[in-house]
Amino acid sequence: MSYMKKSPWILHYDGSSCNGCDIEVLACLTPLYDIERFGIINTGNPKHADVLLITGSINEQNISVVKNLYEQMPDPKVVAAIGICATSGGIFRECYNVKGGVDKAIPVDIYIPGCAARPESIIDGVVQALAVLEKKAAAMDAVPAAEKVGA
Amino acid sequence: MNSILFLIGFPLIPALLLLLIPNQFMRNWITRLSAVIIGGASIYCAWQFMGHGNQSFAWQPQFIDQIFFGAEMVLALYLLIRCIRIKPHEWYIPILILAQAGIMVYCEFVCDVPEAAHTLYIDNFSIIMGLIIGIIGSMICVYALSYMRDYHKHNRELKDGQRGFFFILFFFLSAMFGIVFANNLVWMYLFWEITTLASFELIGYPKTEEATRNAFRALGFNSIGGLGFALGILYLVRFAPASIHTIELSELLKPEVAALALIPAILISFAGLAKSAQMPFSNWLLGAMVAPTPVSALLHSSTMVKAGVFILVKFATVLHGTLAGGTLALIGGVTFLMTSIMAVTQSNAKRVLAYSTIANLGLVAACAGVGTPETIWAAILLIIFHAVAKGLLFLGVGSIEHKTGSRDIEDMGGLIANRPGLAIIMLIGILGMFLAPFGMLLSKWVTFKAFIDASPILALLLAYGSAPTLFFWAKWMGKLVSIPAGEKKATDKVPADEWWTLSLLAVMTVAACGLFPLISTCVIAPYIEDATGRVISLGYGTIIMMTLMLAIIILLPLAFLSAPRTSMRSKAYLAGANLNDVSFTGSAGLVQPIQMRNYYLATFFNEKKIFTASILITIVLFLFMFGAMIVCR
Amino acid sequence: MQIKTALFGIAYILLAPILGGLLAGIDRIITARMQSRKGPPVFQPFYDVFKLFEKRNIVVNHTQNFYVACFFIFMIVTGVIFFAGGDLLLTIFALTVAGVFLALGAYAANSPYSHIGADRELLQMMAYEPMLLIVAMSIYMITKSFHIHDILAYHTPLIKYLPLVFVGYLFILTIKLRKSPFDLSTSHHGHQELVKGITTEFAGPALGLIEIAHWYENVLLLGIVYLFFAALNPAIAVVLTLAAYGLEILIDNSYSRLTWRFTVKSSWIVAGIFGVGNIIGLAVYSYFLLK
């Protein structure tokens, strides 16, 4: 039985967001929405995280950063692009410095549109991301257990 | 008895040979051979006398006293001639040398010096010291062969005086054996002064201005102690009441004269405190670190400074229960606390080791001052483990310095990848210094228990002092085990002489830890029983636990090395700004290398302030100790 | 006697993680309620650890998990020494060994955050070591023994003679339990200090091991609290021990993090005033008692 769904830890990264979506993400952690009920913890450390919540679009400066963070997350992991900027670049899509949405840098599993995305949408999106996470965990389980736990 | 005479006399032969023979190949083999002979002789001596209690010998060949007196005067004259090079602020040194010589002349010609019925002796404690000198001392001499060769290669501007260097090393070993086996205090005084001379010459070996000044400081501080020793002898032959009108150590240690023997005991212990660099004399040892590393290992951690605490532990039964003894213990305890704190602020590896040495010697001094059977037991354990582990660490630092060019801890990062052998040896040494189940920790545990029963103040000093020791040792280990990405194994090898010595010492460190119950029961406990009449025993549950922990520490790395590597490699977390394994993108897009430095707490523990405070405290304690010596018995 | 100690040791090895995990879960619920939130289910710490073991093991350096394994094993050894009735002083020293291994693991990772975290961990250890030794020392001065079963068998609750020492111990317990204001080297999940400080570079199963080792440690630390109340009715003693833990949770939520300078200074001063003060008080008290 997989416990991925019962204890998803998130890493929250602001790509080039105006902070609107970020504030909504943090609002989810407040007593009003309290996502710690679901065992979700906001860790600041990719090595401890299962779900990467990214807001804002990808530009020249942050594309390597996002790739680095994604690489440093251990499997299984999912990425949720929050807000329309992270999905496709939003209203800044045509700007000279904006490359586009998060999928220009890393594979995205869930797109949560909105400007800013509401906490209800974010929670809904994360719950769907967890379903994807479980599928990935199951696929990883097909690999022998010895390979997962290192020396 | 012949083996004792052999140990004292034999090292003079290689000393002279190494002084006279210029051929390097022959010298190397003379050194190695002599080391084996001396080591073997000390083992044989131990085997011969172990378990037979305290034995004394009446070795008194014709004119030996006069010969030794003559040697004493020659020594004083030689030092006075060397004092031509002193600076004005070192004015006190020739005065001290003259005073000491004057006292000895007065004793010899004016006073009635009693005959010493037994001039030499041996007991388990002397055997332990003899083994330390014979085995560790001679190993260090072998190490010095390749070390000095590299030393002069790196320092071409220095004059090559290796012949004199090795002469003094072996001469020193001879004197050290003399100290631990001499029952005649006048003879011990001569050997004591020879070690002071050896220290002076060896510290000044580089002949630089810094080295010369430090050598004179060592001479000066040790002469202050030497004056105390001379005054002790003067008291014994001129002012002492009839029952202790003797120059034999064994007579002074008899339980029935303990109260009377306090004055000479304190005076001679004063010499011991100076020689083991207790506060306020610590600076000479710190300064002595400019000497080549074998000197630091041999004289200033494993043997000579041990002579200082050796005499303290010998007098422990006399110091027991007296106010003066308690004050002496406090001096040791305060030294331990203060030097442990100051060691945190040092990044120069040799200075850390020096401060740590003084701290451990302070602990031994504190044990000796208290003088209960448990503390004497703890003191001897501390001496054994410290001699082995600290010697190992000093030699290790020496080898690291020659291979990497630096003795700064900050430059030792990644050593476990770069030079795994050296790093592991250093780790064994450091573990031996502070971690359970290793020796020093054991000794500290025993000491703590002994202190709580005898003197809560000392227990508190130990509690506060052991915290900083944990900090600076673990910090150093952390530097050694960190592996910067891309660090490759170095290709040039550590010289064979150094490698053999280091490995042997490392094995001895681990063996001493594993065998400590055996050492304690078979060697130390009988000595304590003889000296104090009490029987010491270890708790079996604890022994089992310690052995188990030791086994785990040894087996775990082996298990790890044989297990398959299945984890995925990733980069360190740097907020995603990683460029590659060794650098990241800093502000304004500049490429920065990944660098880390340890905390040194230089402003939190202000070395100057702490040093000044401890000098003041210990001077007051010394005055109090002398006052208590005269007033209370 | 031997069987009994062996049983206690085995009981500790098997039950302590369960107890520790439940304690951690209750901790999070109480914390959440203090913050007007609902909080996770009480078994959440167990879900966290199980999830961690499902993750792939990712390392910066292949030696770092070795040190974590040593930390884990030595933490268990420490607890076994304590709960099997062994020597209190040896327990404290073994605890030091375990802590040093964790710090070494963080050093081995060669990352700035874990490096400073490790330095801070050592600073924390330096801060609480005197008080911890004073606890052992003062208990010895009353019960004349370091052995746990002798201490447990003592006829009077130690809290009666050592109230100030107990307060001092609670002070450093805040450091050991990694609670604000002293969570300098790493903090509980949900908080960040230097990102994750000493545990920054550990992932997956290694992190899970560290978690479980912390549970073992917490049970051990509360065991030492229990020593102060041992002579009372066991139920009351347990309640008082849990109350002490509750006090720690309250302190955690009331204070924000302070500096390492303050931590070291205040711990040493507290050890001096409360620890030494209690001992002096005892000496004076017994002197007048004997008169």
Alpha helix segments (H runs only) across B50-91: 64-82
Q: Which chains touch C (3 or more CB pairs under 8 A)?
A: A, B
Q: What is the pLDDT of residue C6?
A: 83
Domain ranges of chain C: 49-290
Is residue C207 within 8 angstroms of chain A, CB to CB? yes
Mean of pLDDT over chain A: 89
Q: Do B483 and C61 touch (CB under 8 A)?
A: yes
Structure tokens at C94: 């073994």
Q: How many CB pairs under 8 A join A and C?
A: 100
Residues in chain B with CB shorter than 8 Å from the CB of C62 are: 565, 567, 569
Distance from CA of A72 to the nearest CA of B (A): 6
**Cα separation values, B466 from A107, B507, B567, C146, Å:** 53, 25, 37, 19
Q: What type of residue is B540?
A: Y
Distance in angstroms between the alpha carbons of the first and the last residue of chain A: 24
Look at C56 and B470 and tell me if their CB atoms are within 8 Å. no
pLDDT for the residue numbered B603? 87
pLDDT band at B633 (very low <50, low <70, confident <90, very high): low
Cβ–Cβ of C126/B468 closer than 8 Å?
Answer: yes
Q: Which partners does chain B have (≥3 C-beta pairs < 8 Å)?
A: A, C
Q: Give the pLDDT of residue B437.
A: 61
Q: If you measure CA to CA, which chain A residue comes closest to B556?
A: A151
Find, in chain A, the residue whose alpha carbon is nearest to that of B576: A65
The larger pLDDT score, comparing residue C62 to residue B235, is at: B235
DSSP-derived secondary structure letter, B136: I
- Please list every residue in chain A whose beta carbon sits closer than 8 Å to the beta carbon of residue C57: 74, 148-150
Asked if the Cβ–Cβ distance from B577 to A149 is below 8 Å, we say: no
Confidence of residue C43 (pLDDT cuts 50, 70, 90): very high
Of residues B564, B567, B576, nearest to A68 (C-beta): B576
- Architecture of the domain whose range is A4-148: 3-Layer(aba) Sandwich (3.40)
pLDDT at B512 over 50: yes
pLDDT in tens, B169-205: 999 999 999 999 999 999 999 999 999 999 999 999 9
A149 to chain C: closest CA residue: C57
User: Measured between CB atoms, which of A34, A42, A150 is closest to C37?
Assistant: A34
Per-residue pLDDT at B329 exceeds 90? yes
Q: Please determine, for the modelled complex, whether the ipTM score is greater than 0.90.
A: yes
Out of B56-65, B562-571, C199-208, least confident range: B562-571
Tens of pLDDT, residues B334-358: 999 999 999 999 989 999 999 999 9
Return left, alpha or beta for B51; rule: phi > 0 is left, psi -120 to 50 is alpha, else beta.
left
Is residue C110 very low, low, confident or very high in pLDDT (cuts 50, 70, 90)?
A: confident
CA distance A59 to chain B (A): 14
pLDDT class of B257 with cuts at 50, 70, 90: confident
Instruction: Report pLDDT digits (tens) over B15-43.
Output: 998 888 888 899 899 999 999 999 999 99
The pLDDT-based confidence of A151 (bands split at 50, 70, 90) is very low
Bridge partners, residue A98, by sequence: A59
**Band of residue B436 on the pLDDT scale cut at 50, 70, 90:** low
Q: Which chain C residue's Cα is nearest to B453? A: C141
- List phi, psi (to 5°) of A55: -115, 160
Q: Is A46 on the interface with B (CB under 8 A)?
A: yes
Q: What is the pLDDT of residue A145?
A: 47
What's the full length of chain B, in residues?
633
CA angle, residues C59, C60, C66, in degrees to nearest 5? 60
Whole-Å CA distances, A5 to A39, A51, A126, B59, C54: 9, 11, 10, 86, 11
Residues of chain A in contact with residue C200, where contact means CB-CB under 8 angstroms, are 45, 47
Q: Which residues of C touch A151 (CB under 8 A)?
A: 62, 65-66
Across the interface, whether the CB atoms of A72 and B585 are under 8 A apart is answered no
Three-state DSSP class for residue A81: strand
Which residues does chain B have within 8 Å of residue C103's beta carbon, measured at their own beta carbons?
474, 478
Calculate the average pLDDT of chain C: 91
3-class DSSP state for residue B372? coil
Mean pLDDT, to the nearest integer, of C2-20? 89
Confidence label for C133 from pLDDT (cuts 50, 70 and 90): very high
Residue B372 contacts residue B329 (beta carbons within 8 Å)? no
Q: Please determine, for residue B569, whether its predicted confidence score (pLDDT) is greater than 60.
A: yes
Judged against a pLDDT cut of 80, whether residue B320 lies above it is answered with yes
Q: Do residue C58 and residue A74 have CB atoms under 8 angstroms apart?
A: yes
> What confidence score (pLDDT) does residue A150 get?
41
Model confidence at C290, pLDDT cuts 50, 70, 90, reads low
| B558, B570, B581, best to mutate vs chain A, most A CBs in 10 Å | B570
Name the pLDDT band for B411 (thresholds 50, 70, 90): confident
Give tens-digit pLDDT for B71-108.
999 999 999 999 888 888 888 999 999 999 999 999 88
Domain boundaries, chain A: 4-148
Nearest CA in chain C to A145: C54
C142 touches chain B (CB under 8 A): no
Contacts 24+ apart (CB under 8 A), B359-362: B359/B335, B359/B465, B359/B469, B360/B336, B360/B386, B360/B390, B360/B440, B361/B276, B361/B277, B361/B278, B361/B305, B361/B308, B361/B309, B361/B332, B361/B335, B361/B386, B362/B278, B362/B279, B362/B331, B362/B332, B362/B333, B362/B334, B362/B335, B362/B336
Contact flag B565-A71 (C-beta cutoff 8 Å): no
Q: Do β-strands A98-100 and A58-59 pair in parallel, antiparallel, or remain unpaired?
A: antiparallel
What predicted TM-score, i.e. pTM, was given to this entire model?
0.92
Give me the residue from B436, B463, B560 closest to C93, CB to CB.
B436
Torsion sign over Cα C151, C152, C153, C157: positive
pLDDT exceeds cutoff 90 at B58: no
Average pLDDT over residues A34-54: 91
Interchain CB distance below 8 Å, C264 and B463? no
Q: Which has the closest alpha carbon to B31: B121, B160, B165?
A: B165
Q: Which helix (H) or strand (E) holds B623?
A: helix B607-631
Of B550 and B626, the structure prediction assigns the larger pLDDT to: B626
Would you call B460 and C126 a contact, using CB atoms and an 8 Å cutoff?
Answer: no
- Amino acid, single-letter form, for residue A146: A
Q: In whole angstroms, how far apart are CA A13 and each of A8, A49, A55, A123, B56?
A: 16, 12, 7, 16, 80
Pick from B436, B467, B485: which is nearest to C94 by CB?
A: B436
Q: Take residue A83 and report the two structure tokens written for it.
A: 């807000």
What integer pLDDT is reported at residue C212 of this predicted model?
A: 96
The predicted structure's pLDDT at residue A146: 45
Taking alpha carbons only, the member of B347, B348, B484 closest to residue B414 is B484
Instruction: Specify the pLDDT at position A144.
Output: 52
Task: Give residue B310's pLDDT band: very low, low, confident or very high (50, 70, 90).
Answer: very high
**Residues of B with CB below 8 A from C139's CB?**
none
What 3-state class would DSSP assign to A51? strand
Q: Do B576 and A65 touch (CB under 8 A)?
A: yes
So what's the pLDDT on residue A147?
45
b/e code A42-65 from CB counts within 10 Å (16+ = b): bbbbbbbbbbbbbbbbbbeebbeb
Amino acid A142: pLDDT:
61
For residue A76, the chain C residues in CB contact (below 8 A) are 54-56
- Of B566, B570, B585, which is closest to A147 when you measure between CB atoms? B566
Tokens 């004259």 — which residue?
B77
